[in-house]
Structure formats: structure tokens, C-alpha cells
Chain A
């Protein structure tokens, strides 16, 4: 799933390892999330939203053309 994690992390000057440590996940998992290879669980998605201070639906979005319905 497309997401804004890489951009938001970059804006805050965080490394993948630092973000992973803050969320309790590995650096490799942050990398997979950013690349859209791994869709997080709801708790992890909410934790990401809380970390970046934005709603989950602003953090993740369906690929182009997806309407969610």
C-alpha cells in the first residue's frame, strides 16, 4: 500500500533505524513499509499515525485507481 512514511521520516531527519526503534520494529520492517512491500497491522498503523501526528488515512492510501470499495 502506498504511504507517506519515507517522506515524513525524511522531513524529521530520522533514520530508518531510529524510526524502527521508536515504533518497536526493525530497520528492515521500516524499509519494507516505506517500499510498500509490507502492509502493517492496525495497531502498527495507528502507532505510525500517532508518531507522525496525523490520521492513518492521511498516512496510507490505496494505489492509484483504488477506491477502497
Chain B
């Protein structure tokens, strides 16, 4: 069996968002947010390094989205499944509430996020059923 030894795509993208955010904040002069985000990146780097070496507990590795083996990968998938369902429900609730309270005009960002999540869900279902 080959243990999972690479940085997951989720974490690669998460780091890009964090570092990109730090650079952006620096560019617009919000230096304290730059510092906070870079501290976060440093913390994550340590957590990822430990997880990639199989260190820490199974919970800490799943928490870092760096599962070490198939069982931790299944646990991570289950956790993301729950998180995804809550995210869809929360976003839909926000959309409905804004629609009702803002005269039928929810914020554009909420509509775009809802479309992104719905689109992702559709693609994910296609891929999942093809793989199964």
C-alpha cells in the first residue's frame, strides 16, 4: 500500500489563497492582515510537514486535510461531505433570507456563490457516478 505523501490539492489551493491574500493586503496597505495571514501560512506549513511524515494523530492529519492512508482519506471525505451539505444549506438559507428582506434582490456575491456551489455539485455528481 502506498501512503499519501503529497500535499493535497485542497491544501495547495488553500495556500495560494492565503499567500495571495497576504500579498493583496500588503499592496493595499493593510499590513496587519498581511502579518496575520503569513502567520497562518507558517502554521499550516508546520502542520502539513508533520502530517506528510505521518506525525501527530489521525485526527490532526484529517484536520489538516492531509490524510495519511485510505482510512484517514475516507474520514476526510466523510467530513467534507458533511461540511459541503452544511455549506449548501447555509448559502441557500442566506439567499432566501436576502431575497425576502431585500425586496427580491439578494446580493450579487451570494447569487454567484450559490451558482458556483450548485455547479460544483453537478460536476462532482457526474464524476462520482462515473467513478463508482
Contacts and interface: CB of A to CB of B under 8 A. Distances in A.
B77 to A, nearest CB: 13
Interface residues of B, number: 12
Contacts, number: 37
A47 B69 CA distance: 14
Mostly, the B contact residues are loop
7 A-B pairs with the lowest CB-CB distances in the bound complex, closest first: A24-B1, A25-B69, A28-B58, A24-B3, A29-B71, A26-B68, A38-B71
A40 B69 CA distance: 11
B69 A26 contact: yes
Given A40-B70, A41-B70, A44-B70, A25 B57 contact: no
Nearest to A26: B68
Interface residues of A, number: 13
A15 interface: no
